[in-house]
A and B are shown apart, each in its own frame.
Chain A
Amino acid sequence: MNEMTEASKSTTTTRISSFLLLVVFITLALSLVALILSVTIIGENSDAAWVLLLLGLLGVAISTYVLVQTRRRLSKLKIVVPPVTTTIECKKCGIKNVREFQRGDYIFKETEPCQKCSDKMLITAIYREVKEKEKERFPF
């Protein structure tokens, strides 16, 4: 059981290029300066203020997008182990147990005796259930 829980933990790499981070943060800082300047001079020179505002917004948008994309890429780097369940049944009295898969389980393996009738129980199913996102509707 323990090994499954351990395996379920995802591993991620934490390597982000420091150069990329530097460029992103410089762009972000310059864009913020441009935004502040544009607000300050809007009364005196509206054309220059608009240009600065545009450049500032563009810079903030691009650097935020790059940062978000990098984070998303890192979070995708993992091997996800879906939980697998084992169904154990007593053929005699029909008792059914469902538990997490354990190493050594296989379909049609005889396991521990039934608590009710002491007959040997049998693994009848091993599968994983995937909760699907709502499917996109296609007309075909």
Chain B
Amino acid sequence: MGAQTKLAQFGDTSVTWILNILFYVIFVVFIFYGQRIQMYVMLREVEVSLYKLKFIKEEGRKIAVETIKEIGKPQADPTDRVDRFMEYFTIAPQNLDPAGVVWKLEHILDVRDTRFKDEVKAMAPASDETQVNNLENTLEAASALNFIYKVIRHYYLLGKKTLSLYVIMQIQMILPLVMREAEAYASALKAFAYGQPIGDGAGALVAARLMHGHETRKIAKDCVVATVPYEGRTAFVIKAEGPGGNVGKPGDAVKAIIEENEGKIATVIMIDAALKLEGEELGEVAEGVGAAIGGPGVDQYKIEDSLLKYHISINAVVIKEDIGDAVSPLRKEIFDSTDKVLERVKQVVLDKTKEGDKVIIAGIGNTIGMGQ
């Protein structure tokens, strides 16, 4: 009752005064500390994402360890080896003198690949070739998540230490894109662990559909080719050797076929998954010219070099998808679009070549979960 009486005595002027003072205090605080408050809000936002990244990274590591234990049946606990694998790095070759840098890069990538495979075989001794490839992909996805987490943590801590708005701002601005990529890798982990086909393998799937039922032979490292009679022409269909997760060396494969046929190839058609822009439909098929292949550029260089030597034309058919769909289990829309791609390939072959010609059809991408 006493408190009520006191509150009742709270006069009109007092309330107005308090509100006025409060307003001025807030005004002054925002003038002097507005930027700092904004910075703390940004830091908090980065911190929340960092928690999420840490969770995803830990889950990735857990999935990798569990899969190795389940498939590889190791005698010792592979956790330490997995942790070591996640910290592996590759140093790009020096390019002050760019001549020959492609071969240096190729050599380093080969060494890296061999090292990774040896490491996976040591971690999972009971796994076969296909499983080694899948485990390698799983570990690479876990490693990518670990790297993303560390970079974001670096900028977060640096921002906190220096209290520099610009350090925090640059990481906060790209955070939504980084999170999208991290989430994509998180879904890729499970796909790799189970050996499910992924969106990136759309090109390889088209090639697999073309070569299925025909005899295949190994043409380059982790790459197979089938000679397929196609609309009165001879098609050399190339893809990475499945069903393990690998992309092969399509550059070497295309070069080898061209050399085998002494350059008498009417055209080369490359099929690959391509990043779609926002607003474009998933699984949309587009056609163009040029070597449709991603990666570090070694294979693209080799293909372009071989084509130039014999003046062979090159066509590309791509299937549009975003980064999340590219590394996560194959979506129905992408699977269905392979029918449209086959139609387009047929059209290109009919338009650009004549009966009796030889063509190369290369399906590019990770062939995980796809045979031939």
Contact = CB atoms under 8 A, between A and B. Distances in A.
Contacts of B369: 105-107, 126
A79 B335 contact: no
A9 interface: no
A44 B4 contact: yes
Contacts of A105: 195-196, 369
A26 to B, nearest CB: 19
A103 B212 CA distance: 22
Contacts of A103: 194-195
B242 A79 contact: no
Given A81-B190, A107-B370, A13 B55 contact: yes
B208 interface: yes
A119 interface: no
Contacts of B279: 138, 140
Given A51-B15, A101-B194, A106 B7 contact: no
Contacts of B197: 106-107, 126-127
Interface string B231-246: 0000000000011000
A107 B8 contact: no
Contacts of A80: 187
B37 to A, nearest CB: 16
A76 B334 CA distance: 27
B150 interface: no
**Chain A: interface secondary structure?**
loop
B12 interface: yes
A7 interface: yes
A129 B186 CA distance: 18
Given A47-B12, A106-B243, A127-B330, 13 more contacts: A37-B4, A41-B4, A44-B7, A44-B8, A48-B7, A51-B19, A77-B51, A79-B59, A107-B370, A107-B371, A108-B372, A126-B196, A129-B332
Given A107-B197, A140-B279, A82 B243 contact: no
A106 B10 contact: no
Taking each of B15, B48, B52, B329, which has the highest tally of chain A beta carbons within 10 Å of its own beta carbon? B329
B298 interface: no
Interface in B185-200: 186-187, 189-190, 194-197
Contact of A45 (B8, B194, B242, B371): B8
A79 B7 CA distance: 53
Contact of B332 (A77, A109, A127): A127
B4 A40 contact: yes
Given A77-B55, A107-B370, A45 B330 contact: no
8 contacts: A48-B8, A73-B48, A80-B187, A84-B329, A106-B195, A107-B242, A107-B371, A127-B330
A130 interface: yes
A139 B206 CA distance: 34
Given A101-B194, A106-B242, A127 B52 contact: no
Given A44-B4, A107-B369, A108-B208, A77 B335 contact: no
B331 A128 contact: yes
Nearest to A81: B190
A41 B330 contact: no
A126 B334 CA distance: 11
Q: Lowest 6 A-B CB distances belong to which pairs? A: A106-B243, A108-B371, A44-B8, A48-B10, A127-B335, A45-B8
Interface in A44-94: 44-45, 47-48, 51-52, 73, 76-77, 79-82, 84
Contact of B335 (A13, A125, A130): A125
Contact of B7 (A37, A82, A107, A126): A37
B370 A108 contact: yes
A11 interface: yes
Nearest to A7: B190
B268 interface: no
B21 to A, nearest CB: 13
B360 interface: no
Interface string A1-26: 00010010001010000000000000
Nearest to A123: B371
A137 B11 CA distance: 55
